[in-house]
A and B are shown apart, each in its own frame.
Chain A
């Protein structure tokens, strides 16, 4: 299957700092990538849809100024958590489909566990 890679896998930061998470599609081009957040023992909640070369689309309740998404190339999307607070501590997972329409399978990155002290 296709490979989606995320970095870093773990990050610990101080409250008020910013953290950047990278998501790469290693063997295919992804015009669209999706960012999910997963709190302990909960489901994957869609945060935003990242579109190459244009602005991301955020889900209701997700602050676009706090969770900055950049999709500058067909293989890279980044999520920056700005002014992080302890309540932002979570497991962040990116995902992508291959470019063709009606191809359903979504490939996930390894996830990035953020802990804000």
Chain B
């Protein structure tokens, strides 16, 4: 089955700096790669996703890149703000209706002002 590795487990940055979180996946058939932000005690919230027919996607301060050959994808947050502090999870799946997401172990991002 799919295995998703995520690094780093913790990341501390100064407000305004950029943050990068990296993930690798094992199943070459995976074609959907979302990123979720989770605040303590709450449900994960989708912040951006990318499908395998695209190499990069951007939404304001957030971008995701995908390298299918190397089977890795990354989350980039620019101009970080204290409210970006949370746990971020990458995930992968085949993107079909009956297929679950497999999550990475998460990255705790702390943005200090």
Residues of A within 8 A of B (CB): 1, 31-32, 34, 42-46, 49, 51, 91, 93, 95, 97-106, 108-111, 113
**By the criterion CB–CB under 8 Å, are A104 and B34 in contact?**
yes
Q: How far is the CA of A114 from the CA of B4 in the complex (A)?
A: 27
Which residue in chain B gives the minimum CB-CB distance to A33? B100
The answer to whether the Cβ of B60 comes within 8 Å of any Cβ in the partner chain is: no
**By the criterion CB–CB under 8 Å, are B97 and A49 in contact?**
no
Q: How far is the CA of A21 from the CA of B19 in the complex (A)?
A: 37
Q: Which residues of B contact A102 (CB under 8 A)?
A: 95-97
B3 to chain A minimum Cβ distance, whole angstroms, is 12
Given the interface pairs A31-B97, A43-B105, the reply to whether A104 lies near B43 with Cβ below 8 Å is no
8 additional contacts (CB under 8 A) given A43-B105, A91-B41, A101-B97: A31-B97, A34-B100, A49-B100, A51-B98, A93-B44, A104-B49, A104-B93, A106-B93
Residues of B within 8 A of A (CB): 32, 34, 41-44, 46, 49, 51, 89, 93, 95-98, 100-106
| Chain B binding surface, main DSSP class | loop
Q: Which residues of B contact A97 (CB under 8 A)?
A: 97
Q: Which residues of A contact B95 (CB under 8 A)?
A: 102-104
Q: What 4 A-B pairs are tightest by C-beta distance, nearest first? A: A104-B32, A108-B43, A104-B95, A34-B100
Q: Which residues of B contact A108 (CB under 8 A)?
A: 43-44
Residue in contact with A111 in the complex, picked from B43, B98, B104, CB distance below 8 Å:
B43
Which residue in chain A gives the minimum CB-CB distance to B106? A43
**By the criterion CB–CB under 8 Å, are A46 and B100 in contact?**
yes
Q: How far is the CA of A111 from the CA of B96 in the complex (A)?
A: 23
